[in-house]
Amino acid sequence: SGSFGTFVGFQAGFQNTSASYGTFVGAFAGAQNERGDDNTFVGFRTGEQNTSGSECVAAGAYAMRYNASGNASVAVGYAAGERCIDGSFNTMIGALSGQDNRSGSYNTMAGYKSGRSAFQGNYNTYFGAYAGYSNYHGDANCFIGYRSGESLSDGNLNIAIGAYSMAFASQGDSNIAIG
């Protein structure tokens, strides 16, 4: 059975059977965690459906709510990384950042709704509100600035720096836009 767990809130850590070193604070926080070790979930329904993901930190209502097996990710903000299921090694900071990231890994998203629809993309960096908002499955993109790369749904190896840079492009690979 699990060891050294701290569970505070209605059904927090409710199904914990063998996980250790978890801290779950808030109603339903980590409620379905069975085997995931070293997790910290703070907020209403935060990490609620995590079953085996380990070394995750989520703070904010609904943050990483549907994570099942993703490891070593950080989500801070309302619904940040909410629907991340098995993506690992992600950092999502800001309300709704990375909200629909299902299986993408090694992504960094910071800003309101940054990378919100990044469903499968890997190795992306988004900084700024709405940066990379629609990048459904693009890899290795770097979008820095308000709404940079916002509409790009399918593109790889792009760099966009500055407010609205590449904001209206829907597809494209290996582009550089500054300003």
Span 43-64, pLDDT tens digits: 999 999 999 999 999 999 999 9
Q: Quote the CA–CA distance of 125 and 120 in Å, as a whole number.
A: 14
Region 118-128: mean pLDDT is 94
Tell me what the pLDDT averaged over the chain comes to: 96
pLDDT greater than 90 at residue 115: yes
Phi-psi region of 38 (alpha: psi -120 to 50; beta: other; left: phi over 0): left
What is the model's pLDDT at position 2? Answer: 84
Q: What is the average pLDDT across 28-45?
A: 97
Q: What are phi and psi of 160, to 5 degrees?
A: -135, 120
pLDDT at 144: 98
Three-state secondary-structure class, residue 75:
strand
Q: Report the alpha-carbon distance of residue 83 to residue 59 in Å, rounded.
A: 14
Whether the Cβ atoms of residue 33 and residue 46 lie closer than 8 Å to each other: no
Convert the pLDDT of each residue in 65-100 to its tens digit.
999 999 999 999 999 999 999 999 999 999 999 999
How many whole angstroms separate alpha carbon 139 and alpha carbon 121? 5
| Calpha distance 121→50 (Å, rounded) | 21
When pLDDT is cut at 50, 70 and 90, the band that residue 1 belongs to is low
CB 73 within 8 A of CB 59: no
> Could you give the count of Cα atoms lying within 13 Å of 19 in the half-sphere of its Cβ?
29
User: Given pLDDT bands bounded at 50, 70 and 90, which one contains residue 118?
Assistant: confident
Per-residue pLDDT tens digits for 144-166:
999 999 999 999 999 999 999 99
Q: Which helix (H) or strand (E) holds 57?
A: strand 57-59
Single-letter amino acid, residue 30: G
CA distances from 100 to 38, 136, 137, 165, 177 (A): 24, 9, 11, 23, 26
User: Which neighbouring-strand residues pair with 159?
Assistant: 142, 176
Q: How far is CA 67 from the centre of its chain?
A: 9
